[in-house]
Amino acid sequence: MSSRSRNWLHAMGAVLLAAVAIGCARVRPVAVGRAPRTLRTAFEGAFLVGAALNVAQFSGRDTAGAALVRAQFNAITPENVLKWQSVHPRPGVYDFATADQYVAFGERDGMFIVGHTLVWHQQTPRWVFQDSSGNPVSRDTLLARLRDHIETVVGRYRGRIRGWDVVNEALNDDGTLRPTPWLTIIGVDYLAQAFRFAHAADPAAELYYNDYALENAPKRNGALDLVRRLRAAGIPITGVGLQGHNRMDWPTAAQQDSTIVAFAGLGVRVMITELDIDVLPRPNQSATVLNPYPNGLPDSVQHALAQRYAELFTVYERHAADIGRVTFWGVADGDSWLNHWPVRGRTNYPLLFDRQHRPKPAFEAVMGVAAQAPAR
């Protein structure tokens, strides 16, 4: 090809590119010349914005999901792969293959990587609490197992996983300690011990107590007591995770507000760790139709969901000084655990991105809250 025709081709290419660019500019005028509109940039200086990831997203199977995560979020939590049953399925057997992929995914973009969770009564194999004949183990044996688990798991990711949900869901609705095998076999000090083991394994990691429905007064008071006692005993707890599995009418903005204020008042950081909003009826609400929106969310509900998200983020923004991170429990609606809980096989709409990964009106509403926030 002569240099002249090459030049001509280049020129035509440039014209074509310009035409495409102008075309795009007509369709999406707001995108031209501006940074992409992302959650992580919108809330920069306020708090991190995270998402819980499933295996498909960080293993490379769900490339669209992974791209959305990288674009929108700067913190990640593993939805399941660091739970006891995943990482420590049998006595003496640790399996870190999948968890390693999760951590590597976050490290590539310098994300804040969260570990979830070290001590829980669910997704923990039965053998943990039993001897080889199936009888409950002694306090000393269970403490030794707890220590080995935490040292091994936290130690493996020392300096890489930056915050751990050390104890998950230890409280009853009335604020008393839940009678899990951890409590009945070890006694009330199992929480303090878990935090000590985690701190020893990674002194720089942030350590959280994580639970749901702490916005309800009795449970909140129990959690406040717990945190107070741990801190008074010099236990290194840095934050409280409010899971944030919300409904359209619960918690109220006032409940959310006072809960954040109450924990921040104790001198701990507050994280919103598992945010979603369930728009479907609960089976115990005597609803006759349990899966009312199998083919899409009606506009009125879509709008109400957007407003509800705006309401919650307005509260988070107001307390940005005390909130370290807001993490969604999932990325797009199709990924959400709420399609399977508390009723299997429903179609739920709890997140900011729809099943095709497109931003929903709720996304716009949340971005609107960031845009109105005072300059940071």
Active site residues: 169, 274
For the segment 315-354, give every residue that binds ligand XIL (CB under 6 A). 337
Cβ at position 140, least distance to ligand XIL in Å:
28
Residue closer to ligand XIL (CB basis): 88 or 143:
88
Rounded distance between C-alpha atoms, residue 163 and residue 115, angstroms: 6
Cβ at position 139, least distance to ligand XIL in Å:
25
Indicate which single residue of 42, 51, 53, 79 sits in contact with ligand XIL (rule: CB under 6 A): 79
Q: Does 206 bind ligand XIL (CB under 6 A)?
A: no
Residue closer to ligand XIL (CB basis): 127 or 337:
337
- Three-state DSSP class for residue 181: helix
- Three-state DSSP class for residue 342: coil
Rounded distance between C-alpha atoms, residue 177 and residue 166, angstroms: 16
Rounded distance between C-alpha atoms, residue 214 and residue 210, angstroms: 9
Cβ at position 186, least distance to ligand XIL in Å:
20
Indicate which single residue of 59, 80, 152, 307 sits in contact with ligand XIL (rule: CB under 6 A): 80
Q: Does 168 bind ligand XIL (CB under 6 A)?
A: yes
H helix runs in the chain, sequence order: 3-27, 39-42, 55-59, 63-72, 84-87, 97-108, 139-156, 181, 190-201, 217-232, 253-264, 299-318, 361-372
- C-alpha distance from residue 268 to each of 20, 146, 293 (Å): 51, 25, 40
Q: Does 278 bind ligand XIL (CB under 6 A)?
A: no
Phi/psi for 140 (5° steps) reads -60, -40
Phi/psi for 214 (5° steps) reads -70, -5
Indicate which single residue of 274, 322, 333, 335 sits in contact with ligand XIL (rule: CB under 6 A): 274
Q: Does 85 bind ligand XIL (CB under 6 A)?
A: no
Helix axes 190-201, 139-156, angle to 10 degrees: 30
Cβ at position 99, least distance to ligand XIL in Å:
14
Tell me, by CB under 6 A, how many residues bind ligand XIL: 6
Residue closer to ligand XIL (CB basis): 124 or 168:
168
Quick one: tokens of 147? Answer: 């220590």
Cβ at position 256, least distance to ligand XIL in Å:
18
Rounded distance between C-alpha atoms, residue 311 and residue 300, angstroms: 16
Binding site for ligand XIL (CB under 6 A): 79-80, 168, 243, 274, 337
